[in-house]
Amino acid sequence: MKKELLMGTALVSTLGAASVAEAVTATMSGNHQTGLNFASPNSGSDSTSQVSDNNFTISLSETTDAGMTISSSFMLANESATATGSDGDAGFSLAFTDGSKLDLLNAGNASGSHDISIPGSAGAESITIATTNNAPTGLDFTAGSTVYGVEYHTAADFLADGLTMSFSASTDDNTAANSTYGMDGHFAVGGTYVSSLGDSAVTVGFGYSASDGSKTGTQFTSDEGGMHVGISAVTGDLTVAVGFADGDSVEGTNTVQNDGEYVAAGAKYVSGDLTFNVGFANGSSKDSATAGTAGTTEDSIDTVSASVSYAVASGVTAILGYSDKTSKDEALSSSDGSAWYIGANMAF
């Protein structure tokens, strides 16, 4: 690896200013967050572990003579053959002069692009949940897609002042469905509406997604797809948000069909260098590992969380977080407990 870096450096030095003049604009961003997680499960022993979250992204862009911007990005990951050491997020985005944008390759799902952010603990505390518990943990749990897709984002004030929308579709790779669920394609629509109500800035996000696929040639009772809606209000330094989602997903390494609901509410208050977060979330579902058969017993996860963040310096934030989780797997209590987190995040 060192030899490769030295060769690359020598090549760039040899090319000199000419290569710089022809290069696209490159910027970098990322964060390094690390801290300690203190988990106290109701059944089992207490544990302490270090938690790290590191991201380093290179963004590339260039504008044509006609004013269209072509952009892409990639992440620097650890050299590894495993999935955790690879980056599959790269694609291209075309930004047009009217403010609209088209994402190509691994474009994502238009429904998931417009889910409202619900405040909760800013820490990385966690309690291990049974792997067979498939209760949803986010508003976009039904927003599935394949990498072979496109997503179109409208310009601002689409059809109405304050409204922006997205539309997406993807197709399959022609691989025959086997023992795991294979998604043949999806289509989705999502939108964000921003307005004001007195002294508050109000944002409404919504989305709908539908997909089709199969497992060993057998259709599931319901393919992945569903809806979500959320609303956020900002009044001065206070943010309050709620959200709801309902639909079907495919879980468990693409072998389990899951009929679920998710509801969350939270608040954030900023006071000088201090930020206070509090949140509540409930996910529930009925899952089944048998294609074509709906589940009958419920999985659920209830989470209450809070945190205090302190801006130590520009880009450096100290975080103290707490979460309490209550869960049931197939209607039976499991994996309950609480956790504390103390750490810091450095962003650039």
Give the model's pLDDT for residue 234: 97
Q: Using DSSP bridges, classify how beta strands 225-235 and 256-271 pair: parallel, antiparallel or unpaired.
A: unpaired
Complete domains list, the chain, with CATH: 35-347 (2.40.160.10)
- Mean pLDDT of the 59-88 span: 73
Contact 117, 204 (CB under 8 A): no
- Mean pLDDT of the 183-203 span: 93
The continuous run of DSSP H or E covering 153 comes out as: strand 148-153
| Residue whose C-alpha is closest to residue 299's, from 345, 254, 335 | 335
Contact 254, 270 (CB under 8 A): no
Contact 123, 77 (CB under 8 A): no
Contact 183, 171 (CB under 8 A): no
Q: Which residue would you say has higher pLDDT here, 15 or 124? A: 124
> Could you please report the per-residue DSSP string of 158-198?
SSSTTEEEEEEEEE--SPPP-SS-EEEEEEEEEEEEEEEET
- Mean pLDDT of the 74-83 span: 58
Q: Which residue would you say has higher pLDDT here, 203 or 294? A: 203
In percent, the amount of the chain with pLDDT more than 70 equals 85
pLDDT in tens, 13-65: 433 433 344 678 999 999 999 999 999 988 888 889 998 888 888 899 999 99
- Mean pLDDT of the 226-231 span: 96
Q: Which range has highest mean pLDDT (205-214, 250-259, 325-334)?
A: 205-214
- Give the pTM: 0.82
Kindly tell me if the per-residue pLDDT of 82 is higher than 90. no
- pLDDT, the chain, mean: 85
Give the confidence band of 183 by pLDDT, cuts at 50, 70, 90.
confident
User: What's the burial of 140, exposed, middle or buried (CB within 10 Å: 0-12/13-18/19+)?
Assistant: buried
Give the model's pLDDT for residue 85: 43
